[in-house]
């Protein structure tokens, strides 16, 4: 996770360096002496002075560059957080999927899944006993899990909680729905336990609720897993000592690779967000990719961040004999 996050932050780090250099050049162009030692006495200085014309002309550009530096820093922090959210969701997946819940989500089962049509190099197993390639073979199938099941919601909540730290705390008109109120109560109790002095601030509970509501409505989770053809195919099968119970293909392999992708719409600062969202046509006619990647929704400009994490399923190999109809 750490290496992937650093690689994703490299373009932002280069842009941040360019912005810092631009800010330095603006200060030099204003012809003002740079005296860092005098900054310590700035807060005690009560004398007024007339600003030079060069400083007045460069001040708007300087403020804009400073805001850009702050925005790039937030994007770098958001990139790291979204990578951590993918790791947290993947860790939750390899714990919750092997867990035994009420039917149909038993051990190593989760809702419904189907072969991912966008996955490359799909090699489907042969189900014909008369075929020459019948039995264990190379390759495998990547499947995508449909949302909506209880385990899927548990995995999603892990990603949502990880993204709360980069969500805006101001009121954007987003409200919690249904059982989400229980989640915010748990969040408030945890925050109060970590920072007891926060209970004196009456605005913190509302801000926590705003952050949780934004994270829930602007965080998407996709779950895929890869099942090797060296294992029995994931097809409807009979289970039990006498093969009397018929089970649909809701089960994952006990050591399948599970990949969780987290997509989060990071809220940008109002000034830089409005500026970057303005589409500018290049002289060669190529489209502005930066502006197209920024959209405005619910009164805030957002930029989508995406990260994935892959872990092995931690399920136990079933001791119940399987009777696959194709094997």
Residue 298, helix vs strand vs coil: coil
The answer on pLDDT for 10 being more than 60 is: yes
Residue range 308-323, pLDDT digits in tens: 999 988 877 665 555 5
pLDDT at residue 31 in the model: 65
- In DSSP terms, which residues pair with 263 in a beta bridge? 220, 306
Closest CA to 215 of 265, 171, 255: 265
pLDDT value of position 235 = 74
Q: Is the peptide bond before 67 cis (omega within 30 degrees of 0)?
A: no
To the nearest whole percent, how much of the chain has pLDDT over 90?
22
Mean pLDDT score, 211-217: 90
Contact assessment for residue 225 and residue 258, using Cβ atoms and an 8 Å cutoff: yes
215 phi/psi in degrees, rounded to 5: -65, -40
Position 199 pLDDT exceeds 60:
yes
Measured CA to CA, the distance from residue 151 to residue 154 in angstroms comes to 5
Question: Residue 309: its pLDDT value, please?
Answer: 94
Sequence-distant (≥ 6) Cβ neighbours of residue 229 within 8 angstroms = 123, 125, 136, 137, 138, 139, 140, 141
d(CA 106, CA 100): 4
* Among the ranges given (74-78, 183-187, 306-310, 317-321), the one the predictor scored with the smallest mean pLDDT: 317-321
Least confident of 18-27, 148-157, 225-234, 262-271: 18-27
pTM to 2 decimal places: 0.79
Residues belonging to the chain: 327
What's phi and psi for 257, nearest 5 deg?
A: -80, 125
Q: Is the pLDDT of residue 146 over 80?
A: yes
Query: Domain map of the chain by residue range?
Result: 2-42+50-167+218-266+305-324
């Amino acid at each position: 996770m750490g290496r992937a996050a650093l690689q994703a932050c490299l373009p932002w780090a280069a842009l941040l360096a360019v912005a810092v250099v631009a800010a330095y050049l603006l200060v030099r162009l204003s012809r003002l002496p740079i005296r860092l030692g005098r900054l310590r006495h700035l807060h005690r200085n009560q004398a007024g002075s007339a600003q030079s014309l060069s400083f007045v002309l460069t001040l708007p550009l300087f403020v804009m560059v400073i805001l850009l530096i702050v925005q790039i820093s937030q994007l770098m922090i958001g990139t790291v957080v979204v990578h951590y959210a993918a790791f947290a969701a993947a860790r939750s997946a390899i714990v919750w999927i092997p867990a035994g819940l009420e039917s149909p989500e038993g051990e190593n089962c989760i809702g419904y899944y189907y072969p991912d049509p966008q996955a490359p190099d799909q090699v489907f197993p042969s189900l014909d006993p008369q075929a020459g390639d019948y039995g264990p073979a190379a390759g495998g199938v990547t499947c995508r899990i449909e949302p909506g099941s209880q385990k899927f919601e548990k995995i999603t909540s892990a990603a949502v909680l990880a993204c709360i730290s980069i969500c805006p705390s101001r009121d954007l008109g987003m409200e919690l729905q249904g059982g989400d109120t229980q989640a915010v109560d748990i969040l408030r109790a945890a925050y109060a336990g970590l920072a007891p002095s926060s209970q004196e601030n009456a605005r913190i509970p509302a801000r926590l609720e705003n952050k949780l509501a934004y994270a829930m409505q602007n965080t998407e989770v996709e779950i895929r897993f890869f099942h090797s053809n060296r294992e029995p195919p994931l097809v409807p099968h009979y289970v039990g000592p006498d093969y009397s119970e018929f089970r649909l293909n809701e089960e994952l392999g006990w050591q399948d690779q599970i990949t969780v992708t987290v997509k989060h719409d990071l809220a940008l600062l109002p000034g830089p967000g409005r500026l970057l969202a303005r589409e500018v046509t290049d002289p060669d006619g190529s489209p502005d990719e930066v502006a197209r990647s920024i959209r405005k929704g619910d009164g805030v400009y957002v930029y989508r961040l995406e990260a994935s994490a892959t872990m092995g399923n931690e399920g136990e190999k079933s001791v119940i004999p399987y009777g696959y109809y194709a094997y």
